[in-house]
Structure 1
Amino acid sequence: MTGRLLVDGAPAAQVSALDRGLAYGDGLFESIRFVGATAPLWPRHMQRLLDGCARLRIPAPDPAQLWREALEVSRGMAASVLRITITRGLGERGYGLPASPRPTRVVAAFVPPSVAGEVYAQGVRMRVCNIRLAEQPLLAGIKHLNRLEQVLARAEWSDPAVAEGVLLDSHGRVISATMANLFALVEGTWLTPALDRCGVAGVARAEVLAACPQMRVGELTLAELRGADEVFLSSSVRGIVPVRSLDDCDYAPGAMSRHMQQHWRELGFSMEQGG
């Protein structure tokens, strides 16, 4: 995958082999959908990034500087996905925190993933993953650099007809998809899983919750998900994607999926090429 990159503000495509982001996954990232020179969810991304830096005790970047660099790498692109990566920077060997950390800042722009219009119209097929997410409340919700659980979950299948996998925690509770958050209509109530023990609290999820006060955050069991009347995924990159099946359970895109897709269009996103 090629893209335009800035490392600490300068054009580059490498970071030091001694960077703690490489050595320990000691950092955070954001994947931000741009439409031209606008990013409708930018404030939510910045809030999550700053919250994550505070939790990991990494000196926070300047959002204004990130914005300038984001515009620089995405200049001339009709649509792009910005990846902002912040690591704790260089450090001595060992887990101890550097006394005066100097974070590494990587800002990169990529062409958005191509998503067929029929995906938004008809939905995607999903499967339940075997791997279980480990629980660590200190890291729950933030988008830290260690995504090995998601990498191994996605390695469980190669069927191109299956687009996503459902991730459970060690107690069998539904948490999310591998690359998106999940919403389900269960016995007349809209639910999205609580993410206080594990999982990533997506900015698209936050937008859905703000736009739909009737959504409830709580525990969602696999049995409830299988018996749901409607299911959709939210992603800051792909937008709102209905779910058409989970293993042998079938669903149909419903009124809420369509309502939120329209909300995404009103934010300024396309629902034909990546949401």
Structure 2
Amino acid sequence: MASPMLPFDDRGFAYGDGVFETVLLRDGEPVLWDYHRARLHRGCEVLGIQTPSDAALEATWQTAEQGEVFPQQEILKIVVTRGSGGRGYALPPTPSPRLLSRRTPFTPNSSRRYEGVRVCICDLRLAHQPRLAGIKHLNRLENVLARREWQRDDIAEGLLADQQDNLVEATSMNLFWQQNGAVWTPPLEQCGVAGTLREALLSRRHITVASLPLRELHRVEQLWVGNSVQGIWPVVALVTPNGQVQKRWPLPTNDVLQAAGHRLLGVASQHVVSLKQNNEKR
């Protein structure tokens, strides 16, 4: 059962010593659950935290009373910390990991899916730390600082590059682009978060990994940002933080990534159905 309280001496609160997942629920069932669970397991393994059992993780979304009606879409946030204790950075001799979760109603920003978005390039450069690359750990200060760089409501996301000026991701989404008819996404071996939508697209071979230097961004045919909660947003303009347009892209109509996205949604829907069937057999 998830704990509703976080003590002051919790290491996740004190040091960011933990991981989290943000999961889209449809009619009470998680979308891309296998990918979220796998990333959480991988993050706990990297940090050396005992991973909660699958039963404990599934209880975060299977605690409904019979006949309970859920909002059509919700966000489930799962947090796993190392727990309390330890002196300074030293680990407690017998850690007791803490699992917390919360569900909130969610309405996706569908206009951004169909009308496209404007993005800017953040000044902040991501540091390389291969041991933490890909996982969704609790220390997101780089993303927080990057998000402070713009205040305009008409800018949906900020693009992040690394110290070598290679594009990596957006502040809360992964990055995709089309070139010569194929769809690509940056490598994340040095930094960045391996999103579950990105992982699903990679596993189905809808996209390919390749580097994108910042200086080459203006040459790509199409650009998208996306995650498992909001889906895929086509980028129609690159702007400065104060809104000055630097580059425009046409709104895609019948392109490769949208087709891949539709196939992915179909797979995700089938996964939700299979979860319901498995639950009914228990």
TM (normalized to structure 1)?
0.88
Whole-angstrom distance in 1 between the partners of 2:125 and 2:265? 34
Letter in 2 for 1:95: Y
Q: Which residue of the partner structure matches residue 76 of structure 2?
A: 82
Q: Which runs of 5+ in 1 are unaligned?
A: 1-7, 270-275
Alignment partner for residue 99 of structure 1, among 83, 93, 107?
A: 93
Q: Which residue of the partner structure matches residue 3 of structure 1?
A: none
Whole-angstrom distance in 2 between the partners of 1:166 and 1:113? 24
Residues 183 and 256 in structure 2, CA contact (< 8 A), matched pair in contact too: no
Q: Which residue of the partner structure matches residue 243 of structure 2?
A: none
* 1:11-160 → structure 2 map (5 Å cutoff): 12=4, 14-72=5-63, 76-115=70-109, 117-160=110-153
* Number of residue pairs aligned between Structure 1 and Structure 2: 258
Alignment partner for residue 250 of structure 1, among 248, 268, 272?
A: 248
Deviation string, structure 1 residues 54-73 (Cα, Å, up to 9, x no partner): 11100011122211222327
Q: Does 1:234 align with 2:218?
A: no
Whole-angstrom distance in 1 between the partners of 2:149 and 2:188? 23
Give the superposition deviation at 1:40.
2.6
Q: Which residue of the partner structure matches residue 262 of structure 2?
A: 262
TM (normalized to structure 2)?
0.86
**Structure 2 counterpart SS, 1:260:** helix
Letter in 2 for 1:49: L
Give the superposition deviation at 1:177.
0.5
Whole-angstrom distance in 2 between the partners of 1:191 and 1:232? 10
Q: Which residue of the partner structure matches residue 225 of structure 1?
A: 217
Alignment partner for residue 201 of structure 2, among 198, 208, 214?
A: 208
Point out the more displaced range, 67-76 or 192-201: 67-76
Deviation string, structure 1 residues 57-112 (Cα, Å, up to 9, x no partner): 00011122211222327962321111100000001231112221100100111122
Whole-angstrom distance in 2 between the partners of 1:262 and 1:234? 13
Give the superposition deviation at 1:188.
4.1
**Structure 2 counterpart SS, 1:262:** helix
**Structure 1 counterpart SS, 2:235:** strand
CA RMSD of aligned residues (A): 1.8
Deviation string, structure 1 residues 195-242 (Cα, Å, up to 9, x no partner): 0000000000011112334x2212111122221101112201101111
**Structure 1 counterpart SS, 2:62:** helix
Give the superposition deviation at 1:262.
1.7
Whole-angstrom distance in 2 between the partners of 1:211 and 1:253? 25
Give the superposition deviation at 1:45.
0.4
Residues 201 and 264 in structure 2, CA contact (< 8 A), matched pair in contact too: no
C-alpha change, 1:56 and 1:124, in structure 2 (3 Å) is same
Residues 224 and 234 in structure 2, CA contact (< 8 A), matched pair in contact too: yes
C-alpha change, 1:222 and 1:169, in structure 2 (3 Å) is same
Give the superposition deviation at 1:113.
4.5
Whole-angstrom distance in 1 between the partners of 2:43 and 2:142? 19
Whole-angstrom distance in 2 between the partners of 1:187 and 1:68? 45
Give the superposition deviation at 1:161.
0.7
Letter in 2 for 1:98: P
Q: Which runs of 5+ in 2 are unaligned?
A: 240-245, 271-282
Name segments (4+ residues, structure 1) moved above 6 Å: none
